Structure 1
Amino acid sequence: MSSVDNRYTLREFVEQTQQRDRGEGFFEMESPRILEVNLNGNFVWSKMGSMISYLGNMKFEREGMLDKGLGGLFKKALTGEGARLTKVTGNGKVYLADYGKKIQILRLDNQEIVVNANDVLAFEPAVTWDIKMMKRVSSMMAGGLFQMTLSGTGMVAITTHYEPLTLVVTPNQPVYTDPNATVAWSGTLSPNLKTDITFRSLLGRSSGESFQMEFIGNGFVVVQPYEEVYHSEG
């Protein structure tokens, strides 16, 4: 290496990768795969295990088993579903990420969106949330059964594997998706489950294309170019 070669120095690396304040508010995209949350004595709900760093004084509390009532306790005890949340309170900055998945920030304005519970990274305390299980799915899929309904006004951060695709649903144009590739849909839609034995026979698959989610009405569906396999947590 030449003695006058100043490339790839530690100083250059730090300058290129260091944290930068962009003044975007409560949620700030530090990078496409890292979310910065600016706390000023308030709190944020985040996916358990998503914290990668923080600056300042922070308190982390696991969402209690009874926070959503006996129904929530029953769901967790029965399925071990992984939609566990951490309440982060304090003053400073907390950085969140989820296995390098791409982050999408959504601002709800008195709106409702349903997100695969595993793909919810964080949301403001003003947003109302509930966890529900899709009917008829539990007997066909092991894990990934739960959706989180987020409603009201506030910021929500969700994650996708690679670039998401949003499909518009109209009464004349229903949309069918692979459950393992389905990330979210508008609260105006209620998906049905459509079994197709032909796909299973042709493709030799025991899940995924052997049944699809059917969306009919007015709204949108978000899918990702990746079929996520879910594992129940004890």
Structure 2
Amino acid sequence: MSQIDSRYSIADFIEKTKQKDRGQGLFELESERILEVNLDSMVWTKMGSMISYNGDIRFTREKILEHGIGKLLKKAVSGEGTQLTKAEGCGQLYLADEGKKISILQLENESIYVNGNDVLAFEPTLDWDIKMMKKMAAMLSGGLFNVRLEGTGLLAITSHYDPMTLLVEPGKPVITDPNATIAWSGDLMPEFKTDISVKTFFGRGSGESLQMKFEGSGFVVVQPYEEVYFQNTSST
């Protein structure tokens, strides 16, 4: 019979993994990949992100015209994958999204663009809108559409692994891979460019290498993971 090791007892497991109240306010990180919302009114959450809750909380899928006909039409055209759920009531709500890392941002009369798939939750005090990137006809992809959030309130976004923020300064543009770009400051508007040298090196059959170019003053957030948003639709 093996010797009993208390490090692996059920009691020890519970102690190490049990929920902990940190008193950090409305949004707090229960872990790097689980967001706790100390709900006392209402928040918007990404549909399907609820993993647990306690208390009296009601969930309502956003109505077709909840945010006006303009946003409805943009969603229909863009195929934007983000659908929202309204969580209302009092209690503790726990959110996660495919094990991705969560970052909490406090906007103070500021604006930010976030890839639609990376918006996890936000306060209703933030205004939001779906924005279409330029050169849509040339790239036809759901990744062309991002969400612009503006105002004062809390926002939780997700990333695959640890995000990295790059500062954009006048005269020092930042170039990123669209599939690894998850957010950027609201006063920046990227331009899409094609890396001709990459296309030439690998041959026409391999498709084009698309890049995002940010110029001005602000920041860009990237992740060490490339999600498939942009696809080559041209024939070889």
**TM-score normalized by the length of structure 2:** 0.91
Amino acid at match of 2:61: R
2:121 corresponds to 1:122? yes
Q: Measure the CA separation in 1 of the matches of 2:202 and 2:24.
A: 46
Matched position secondary structure for 2:16: helix
C-alpha contact 2:180 2:226 (8 A) present in aligned 1: yes
Q: Which moved more, 1:192-201 or 1:158-167?
A: 192-201
The one-letter code matched in structure 1 to 2:173 is: P
Query: Which residue in 1 is equivalent to 2:182?
Result: 183
Q: What is the aligned length?
A: 228
Assess if the C-alpha contact under 8 Å between 1:65 and 1:72 holds in 2: no
C-alpha contact (below 8 Å) 1:137/1:193 kept by paired residues:
no
Query: Residue 122 and residue 213 in structure 1: after superposition, are their counterparts in 2 closer, same or farther (change >3 A)?
Result: same
Q: CA contact under 8 A between 1:66 and 1:73: conserved in structure 2?
A: yes
Q: CA RMSD in A?
A: 1.7
Instruction: Confirm or deny: 8 A CA contact 1:111 1:151 kept in the other structure.
Output: yes
Moved more, 151-160 or 139-148: 139-148
SS in 2 for 1:113: strand
| Shift in Å, 1:122 | 0.5
2:26 is aligned to 26
Measure, in 2, the Cα distance between the counterparts of 1:132 and 1:182: 15
Which residue of the partner structure matches residue 35 of structure 2? Answer: 35
Secondary structure, aligned partner of 1:153? strand
- In the TM superposition, what is the alpha-carbon distance from 1:91 to its structure 2 partner? 0.8
Show the counterpart of 1:219. 218
In structure 2, the residue matched to 1:60 is: 59
Contact 1:138/1:145, CA 8 A, preserved across alignment:
no
Q: Hey, what's the Cα distance between the residues in 1 that align with 2:65 and 2:202? A: 43
The residue matched to 2:39 in structure 1 has which SS? Answer: strand
- CA offset at residue 214 of structure 1? 0.8
Change (3 A) 1:52 1:201: farther
CA distance in 2: counterparts of 1:55 and 1:201, whole angstroms: 57
* More divergent stretch after superposition (97-106 vs 197-206): 197-206
List runs of 5+ in structure 1 lacking aligned partners.
none
Shift of 1:230: 4.0
> 2:116, 2:147 within 8 Å by CA — same for their partners in 1?
yes
Q: What CA distance in whole angstroms lies between the structure 2 residues aligned with 1:196 and 1:148?
A: 26
Structure 2 unaligned regions, length at least 5: 231-236
Q: Deviations over 1:113-152 (max 9, x none)?
A: 1111111111111111111121213541432221111111
Structural mapping, 1:154-193, within 5 Å? 154-193=153-192
Identical aligned pairs, as a percentage? 61
Superposition deviation, residue 75 in structure 1: 2.4
TM-superposed CA distance for 1:73, in Å, is: 1.9
TM-score (structure 1 length as normaliser): 0.91
Q: Deviations over 1:171-229 (max 9, x none)?
A: 1100111111001000111111112232234356436xx11111010001001111112
Q: Within 5 Å, which residues of 2 pair with 1:65-104? A: 65-104=64-103
CA displacement 1:27-79 (0-9 Å, x = unmatched): 01000000000112x01111111111111111111112222322222222234
3-state DSSP class of the match of 1:212?
strand
| Partner residue in 2 for 1:48 | 47
Return closer, same or farther for 1:34/1:203 CA change in 2, 3 Å cut-off.
farther
1:69-118 deviations in whole A, cap 9, x for unaligned? 22222222234321211110011011000100000001111111111111
* 1-structure distance, mates of 2:159, 2:169: 24
CA–CA distance in 2 between the matches of 1:90 and 1:38? Answer: 10
d(CA) in 2 for partners of 1:104, 1:87: 20
